[in-house]
Amino acid sequence: MSRTPVIAGNWKMYKTTAEAREFAAAVKNELQNVSGVEMVVCAPFTTLSVLQEALAGSKIAVGAQNIHFAEEGAYTGEVAPRMLTDLGVRYVIIGHSERRAYFNETNETVNKKVQAALKHDLVPIVCVGEDLSEREAGQTFSIVETQTRAALAGIEAGQAAGLTIAYEPIWAIGTGKSSTAADANEVIAHIRKTVAELYDGETASRIRIQYGGSVKPENIGEYLAQPDIDGALVGGASLAPDSYVGLIRGAVK
């Protein structure tokens, strides 16, 4: 089955509303005629509304970088799924390694967030990946497998098929040290095998699995040429309009 690649920028904690508007104005027309790739920008909560407005009529979808799993409640500082769909947001990153490392996200909270996102028709981009010591100890496959199984617990096949997983080796994030395309493909194929074991071959062939970690316009083509890599989750290189456009052009080559 052929899967449409999804290229998602993750702006992390960068850009004011004025900067987001500037970005949207710069990329909107440039990418108007692109087809064969899904384009997403995952922005800070404070810029979602202006981005949604500034990108209206374009093919670029807006995503958030986190959600809370509750419908609503006394959770100071948190944002509920309904607040995102209210803005027209389509995607949400869940379980990014920075959230697991700095904000106590666990496999259990990741699963609750995936369930909450799906309940509200948000497309989760679920992040999995090993750190350097785990990689050196030969635990890469078992770490991504455990994270994948935990994230998908209680999710039905039909819903699992529609979500996106991002494999991001932690040692490759923002370091300039990217995984080789062949290595990334091997891990992603293992994640796909895990999905096949959890569900069936059909679900595994439909689910999209991205690579993330120091992806740039210059190397995105190598990743997308791999059979199991269905796109990229990009941090640093998604911030500048030229670079974002370069990533998309590199993905459709």
Ligand X SMILES: O=C[C@H](O)COP(=O)(O)O
Contact by Cβ (8 Å): 31, 7: no
Closest by CA to 214, choosing from 223, 204, 226, 202, is 223
214 has binding-site annotation: yes
Instruction: Please state, in angstroms and rounded to a whole number, the distance separating the CA atoms of residues 94 and 181.
Output: 23
Q: Which of 38, 68, 96, 120 is catalytic?
A: 96
Whole-Å CA distances, 39 to 51, 59, 172: 14, 7, 22
Query: Residue 93: enclosing H or E segment and its boundaries?
Result: strand 91-94
Cβ closest to ligand X, residue 101 vs residue 137: 101
Note whether 236 binds ligand X by CB under 6 A. Answer: yes
Query: Residue 157: enclosing H or E segment and its boundaries?
Result: helix 157-162
The least distance separating ligand X from the CB of residue 156, rounded to whole angstroms, comes to 27
Note whether 10 binds ligand X by CB under 6 A. Answer: yes
Torsion sign, CA atoms 206, 251, 87, 76: positive
Q: Is 71 in the active site?
A: no
Interacting span for ligand X (CB under 6 A) from 45-53, 104-112, 186-194, 206-214: 206-214
Site for ligand X in 130-169 (CB under 6 A): 168
Note whether 215 binds ligand X by CB under 6 A. Answer: yes
Burial of 146 per CB tally in 10 Å (0-12, 13-18, 19+): middle
Note whether 235 binds ligand X by CB under 6 A. Answer: yes
Whole-Å CA distances, 37 to 2, 33, 114, 190, 224: 12, 11, 23, 24, 11
Cβ closest to ligand X, residue 66 vs residue 115: 66
The least distance separating ligand X from the CB of residue 52, rounded to whole angstroms, comes to 20
201 has binding-site annotation: no
Note whether 212 binds ligand X by CB under 6 A. Answer: yes
Q: Is 120 in the active site?
A: no
Cβ closest to ligand X, residue 203 vs residue 238: 238
Note whether 247 binds ligand X by CB under 6 A. Answer: no
15 has binding-site annotation: no
Note whether 129 binds ligand X by CB under 6 A. Answer: no
Out of 4, 86, 174, 200, name the contact with ligand X by CB under 6 A.
Answer: 174
Instruction: Please state, in angstroms and rounded to a whole number, the distance separating the CA atoms of residues 9 and 47.
Output: 14
* DSSP codes, 36-79: SSEEEEE--HHHHHHHHHHTTTSSEEEEES---SSSS-S-TT--
Catalytic positions are: 96, 168
Question: Which residues contact ligand X by CB under 6 A?
Answer: 10, 96, 168, 173-174, 212-215, 233-237
| Binding-site sequence positions for substrate | 10-12, 174, 214, 235-236
